[in-house]
Amino acid sequence: MDVFACGRCRGRRRVLAYLTAPSGVRAILEHLGLPTRPGRLAPARGPLQSAWC
């Protein structure tokens, strides 16, 4: 998968900035109305019982 390929025009995207300060990232996400905290992870599961047979 090429993350720099535009899905609409097949042009090339380019990186405009790298955000490293948590406060700056949080401010942008809040402005866009996006969650600022990561989602909860589901607990790990073992193999199915049928895998042991």
Q: Give the pLDDT confidence score for residue 1 in this predicted structure.
A: 85
pTM of this structure: 0.50
Q: Give the pLDDT confidence score for residue 13 in this predicted structure.
A: 93
Interval 1-53: pLDDT, tens: 888 999 899 899 999 988 899 999 999 999 999 999 988 999 988 777 766 66
The Cα 31–Cα 26 span in angstroms is 9
Q: Give the pLDDT confidence score for residue 47 in this predicted structure.
A: 76
Report which residue type is found at 7.
G
Report which residue type is found at 32.
L
